[in-house]
Amino acid sequence: MHPYFVVLLVTFGILFLIFFWILYNSRKQRRIILKKIRRLYGQVPEREYSPGDIEAVSHYFRRKAGEAFYIDDITWNDLDMDRLFMLINQTVSSPGEDVLYSMLRIPLFDRAKIEEREKLICFFAENHQKREKMQLLLSSVGKTWHGSLSDTILALEEAPQVNTGLHWVMLVLLILNLAALPFAPVYGFLSFIILGTVNIVFYYTGKDRIKIEAYLDCFSSLLKMLSLAEKTGTVDWPETKAHMEKIRQGRLAFHSMKKRAFFLTGKNNATGDPSQLLLDYLRMVFHLDILVYNSILKDVKGKTGEIIEILDAFGELDAVISIASFREMIPLWSRPEFTEWETGHVRLLVEDMYHPLIQTPVANSIQMGRGILITGSNASGKSTFLKNLAVNSILAQTVLTCTCASYQAPLLKVMTSMALRDDLSGGESYFIVEIKSLKRILDESKKKEPFLCIIDEVLRGTNTIERIAASSQILSVLDRPWILPAAATHDIELSYILSKKYENYHFEEEIQDDQVVFNYLLQRGKATTRNAIRLLGVLGYDDGIVKEAARAAEDFEKTGVWKA
């Protein structure tokens, strides 16, 4: 047999074995992913987050946030919503992760959109085979190394072009070499090895590849999403029809680059496609990705809108599955009931509400028709209750899942002023940070729209006299028909000053065996216990100090006046 045919036979034999080895591993990987999907559904997510991960994911939301109301950074940080996002995030793709975060930051105020989202969550919750099929498809996109897929793909708008002249010369030399193989197999094969080696070295060290390396990764992310768009063409479920149509329309915008894109990829390609894995070696030798880079870049630029549409559609499908998993995971949840509001008083009713981030939570119920003022000692549960109230109002209009037995309220805006700190970088004191935080709440309260505002320790950054004077006025201004203000305070004076405008609630504690014991149950009325004073005695303070402090507090409760 001619040596040339021997070389061809061996080459094709090796390629045949590689192909089936890759196909076997691809199917094996699919089984592993499916097993993981089934194991994690309805369970606490296993993902570990590195510093900066959440910040990177938030970039997609910041692109989407416009004039409409959204959960601002102060409220988000006050409520520790990053941790809540991590608890809900069971997504399998970067679009899903981006969109889920954005959902939590942008509450819905359109009842039709609320109904559409609820139907989609229920569809995947009730149809596990279709849910698993969709998750397998979405997992082919995976999660990018760069935090937010939108950052990665939209970076292509800034991508530079490259000079491909030398790469074309090398390609022509290789093709001529292959054509000469039948006439001089030994020398031809040897020269091909030399040319191929030079090309591989040039591929990884040449300035053109280095210049566009990061953008090749961006292309890889886009191509994986477009590949997924092709695969989902067979999905014809009525419940996902709107999403599939968005994906189809977005995909049409990139139709012209489909064939050339086959030659383009990045180093983070992990689709398991045997043809792509084989092409990785051909790209190194023939520089196929660099040669088609400029023409594909031209097709992509100016299509940010279409990219966002595709990302939105896939992301929402992944995000609602994550919400369905969250519902399966938590011990008690309810769908929110949204009541009507026109010009009357806003009302909010929550029964057996618990905080999803607390391992052994205590449930509380409350009916609000006006403002509430909560008193009690430190660590008694005031701040946690207020955070829980805000969190459930946000969950109601984002993931449509409240951690309580029932939730009834109109569609609410939510803002808080709670866990504030000195702004060292800006050179602002705690008090300046606090009054700026309260100012934004007062500004929003002027709009006659249902509004839940939560304030923890009003103006704690100043002296008692000015704090009580100013905070009583601020809370009085928030006593409006469209506003539900809720505040926690240590200043018992406020409960007297605002008794006609705010309902009083409190949390109690007991001292048992020289230990402070909290039950974390919300009680009606003002705080009346003086366990802080009693604790002085438990810790060995002089009896005279303890008795006089108790007497002074009792006199103030009777007269409302502090005596010298």
Tell me the C-alpha distance between 371 and 498, whole Å: 10
Task: Retrieve residue 301's tokens.
Answer: 């630029």
Phi, psi of 212 (to 5 degrees): -110, 5
Whether the CA torsion 235, 241, 245, 247 is positive or negative: it is: negative
Distance between CA 65 and CA 74 in Å, rounded? 15
Assess contact for 519 and 499: CB atoms under 8 A. no
Q: What are the CA-CA distances from residue 299 to residues 219, 257, 269, 373, 399 (Å)? A: 12, 7, 21, 59, 36
Contacts 24+ apart (CB under 8 A), 425-433: 429/461, 430/461, 431/459, 431/461, 431/462, 433/461
Residues 6+ apart with CB under 8 A from 134: 124, 235, 240, 317, 318, 321
CA 139 to chain centre: 17
State the burial class of residue 306 (Cβ atoms within 10 Å of its Cβ: 0-12, 13-18, 19+).
middle
Handedness of CA 78, 80, 82, 88 (dihedral sign): negative
Residues 6+ apart with CB under 8 A from 60: 98, 99, 101, 102, 148, 149, 150, 151, 311
Could you give the CA distance from residue 516 to residue 520 in angstroms, rounded to a whole number?
12
pLDDT tens track, the chain, 564 positions: 556 566 667 667 776 676 666 666 667 777 888 899 999 999 999 888 887 889 989 999 998 887 789 999 999 999 999 999 999 999 999 999 999 999 999 999 999 999 999 999 999 999 999 999 999 999 988 877 666 777 878 878 778 888 888 888 888 888 887 777 777 777 777 787 888 788 888 777 777 777 777 777 777 778 888 888 888 888 889 999 999 999 998 888 887 776 676 667 644 444 445 555 667 777 778 777 887 888 888 888 888 888 889 999 999 999 999 999 999 999 999 999 999 887 678 999 999 999 999 989 999 999 999 999 999 887 888 999 999 999 999 999 999 999 999 999 999 999 999 876 645 445 567 778 888 899 999 999 999 999 999 999 887 767 778 888 888 999 999 999 999 999 999 888 898 899 999 999 999 887 777 677 788 999 999 887 667 777 777 777 888 888 888 888 778 777 767 776
Dihedral (CA of 79, 83, 85, 87) sign: negative
